[in-house]
Amino acid sequence: MATRPGDDLLDPNPAILLTPPSDTELTKAEALMASLPTVRWDEVERAAEITDAIARRLGDDRALLRTLVARAVRTPELREKFECHALDDKIVIWDDQEKGLRIRLRLANTDQYERVHNHRYSFTAYILHGAYQHTLYATDQPLDETADVTRFWPYFVREEPAGRVITLDHEQLHTTITEPETISLMIQSPARKRRAFMIRKDSGDVWYRYGAADESAERRAEVRMSDERLHHWLSRLEAFGLL
Amino acid sequence: MSYGRLDYGPSPWQRIDLYGPAEPETASGTETPSGTETAPGTQAGPADSAVPVVLVHGGFWRHDRTAHDLEPLACALVGRGHRVAVVEYRPSWDGGAWPAAADDCRAALRELAEQDACWAGATLVGHSAGGHLLLASVAGTARGAAVVLLAPVVDLAEAARLGVGGGSVEDFLAAHLKAGGSHEQATPEPDPADLGSLTVVGAEHDQAVPHELTEHQLTVWGRRGLPLTWVSVPDARHMHLVNPERPACRTVVLPLLTGRASNAEE
């Protein structure tokens, strides 16, 4: 788990845990989430239009976001999906696969390295805090262990600042180098393939990322977010004014 | 083909997409197909003899569908010489809970008529839940409008009873019901004076709108003395009615909207 200077000074009891939302707030938030539309992820332009609006609706209403995060912390089936990885952590705040709406916060860690990758799912990301250096790649080779790292060509590079919303198809190869603690609200489609391809730019190492259903119990335990780490992120989100 | 956009409120949803047969003027306030600037007062193409058409999309008030989904139908109508306005409005989860989405639709019609008088005589077309918003917009106006409803979901008490849209009616009306309102109050009740004609088109194999709801609505409208025509389209599903690639739209809906003879069973 990555740590950063000053972690020991963090409030171990973030306010969101001390003063949870009221039943009225929870009911109101759940009603709003239940009224969200079905996203047609097979038409990425349509999905982009509607998920852009959903992401802004949720991300710009900090009271609602706070309620959803607090609810997720207390909902075991969501809490089990909070994960820690090398580059980023995630807090899942809503999961309605029938509507194509898995919604989570992506929390970028301090350590970053560049890996060209695609995803198991298409997604929309609303950058709430920080920024991405975002590069799209093309290649002319199969995406497997034989991939040659020199044959991934960047052809679109731009800064994605806070306030921007992007939608990416699951097939698109890209890298996102983030400022430390960049926070995004992500809306992702149901899985479109079993595994996502990854290749590290500095070494050419290839690996894959699988869904939870394909991971071992040991792996699931390894990536599960601890309460300590969760409290860290809740404090940071509060400090950024996002909750 | 020309394109334009008219904003009628501060929300990004409160806009009208305009399509016309000719290039728009290049004066300030117009835009190109790739443009994004707001075009106050612009119309897509010059007025011509074909009756303009206003389209209101469905999607159970929560935007399972959006205005963009009606662009193919709009383009097909433009290809037949019509100017077309596609009304976007706020979804129930983003400010459009009853009555706001209906207010939006009403404001859009008013804005169109203020921009160009030709829109006051437009054929008004609502698909699915868009039919509800359209009827709510014309009820009480004595406008004498020519209205075409495609697979409409209008009677909200009956729609809720039948579970149409998987609870979408309750979501749309949540605040209204909580404040003591009823489904009936949110169900438009147009008078004969509001409608010059009311043509209702149903899809035989509609998977989203049950026949029971359609029949109920037709019965109610008939009792109210509305100038009703019923058209049933065989071998059609819900979205086929607004998809020009489908025979249901190509051979029934488009001829209906362009004033040509229909081959459908009446």
User: What pLDDT does residue A11 have?
Assistant: 60
Select the residue from B61, B62, B86 to test the A interface by mutation, using most A Cβ atoms within 10 A: B62
pLDDT bracket for residue B33 (50, 70, 90) = very low
User: What pLDDT does residue B6 have?
Assistant: 97
User: What pLDDT does residue B45 have?
Assistant: 52
pLDDT bracket for residue B44 (50, 70, 90) = low
Cβ distance B63 to A37 under 8 Å?
yes
Cross-chain Cβ contact A37/B171 below 8 Å: no
Quote the CA–CA distance of B70 and B66 in Å, as a whole number.
8
Residues of A in contact with B86 (CB under 8 A): none
User: What pLDDT does residue B151 have?
Assistant: 98
Residues of A in contact with B172 (CB under 8 A): 35
Cβ distance B86 to B17 under 8 Å?
yes
pLDDT tens sequence for chain A (243 residues): 445 544 554 566 788 888 889 999 999 999 999 999 999 999 999 999 999 999 999 999 999 999 999 999 999 999 999 999 888 999 999 999 999 999 999 999 877 778 999 999 999 999 999 999 999 999 999 999 999 999 999 999 999 999 999 999 999 999 999 999 999 999 999 999 999 999 999 999 999 988 888 888 888 888 999 999 999 999 999 999 999
Q: Indicate whether B25 pLDDT > 60.
A: no
Quote the CA–CA distance of B66 and B149 in Å, as a whole number.
17
Cross-chain Cβ contact A53/B69 below 8 Å: no
Residues of A in contact with B66 (CB under 8 A): 46, 49-50
∠ Cα A77 A80 A83 (to 5°): 140
Cβ distance A184 to A106 under 8 Å?
yes
Cross-chain Cβ contact A57/B94 below 8 Å: yes
Ranges assigned E (strand) in chain A: 83-84, 88-96, 101-108, 115-117, 123-129, 131-139, 152-161, 165-168, 173-178, 183-188, 195-200, 206-210
Asked if B47 is an interface residue toward chain A (Cβ–Cβ < 8 A), one would say no
Cross-chain Cβ contact B171/A31 below 8 Å: yes
User: What pLDDT does residue B47 have?
Assistant: 47
* B251-264 pLDDT tens trace: 999 999 998 433 44
Q: Indicate whether B202 pLDDT > 50.
A: yes
* B53-84 pLDDT tens trace: 999 999 999 999 999 999 999 999 999 999 99
User: What pLDDT does residue A10 have?
Assistant: 56
Question: Which ranges of A21-168 would DSSP assign to H, the alpha helix?
Answer: 23-34, 44-59, 62-73, 76-79
pLDDT exceeding 70 applies to what percent of chain B? Answer: 88
Residues 54-113 of A with CB under 8 A from B: 54, 57
Asked if A31 is an interface residue toward chain B (Cβ–Cβ < 8 A), one would say yes
pLDDT bracket for residue B85 (50, 70, 90) = very high
Paired tokens of B68:
């963009």
Cβ distance B124 to B147 under 8 Å?
yes
Of A38, A45, A57, the CB nearest to B93: A57
Domain A7-239 has CATH 3.30.300.30: no
pLDDT exceeding 90 applies to what percent of chain B? Answer: 85
Of A37, A45, A46, the CB nearest to B91: A37
* B119-171 pLDDT tens trace: 999 999 999 999 999 999 999 999 999 999 999 999 999 999 999 999 999 99
Backbone angles phi and psi of A196, in degrees to 5: -105, 145
Quote the CA–CA distance of B187 and B198 in Å, as a whole number.
16
Superfamily of domain B2-26+44-257: Alpha/Beta hydrolase fold, catalytic domain (3.40.50.1820)
User: What pLDDT does residue B263 have?
Assistant: 41
* B170-181 pLDDT tens trace: 999 999 999 999
Cβ distance B256 to B262 under 8 Å?
yes
- Domain extents in chain A: 7-239
User: What pLDDT does residue B39 have?
Assistant: 41
ipTM above threshold 0.95: no
User: What pLDDT does residue A68 have?
Assistant: 98
Asked if B57 is an interface residue toward chain A (Cβ–Cβ < 8 A), one would say no
A44-48, A210-214, B90-94, B198-202, range with the lowest pLDDT: A210-214
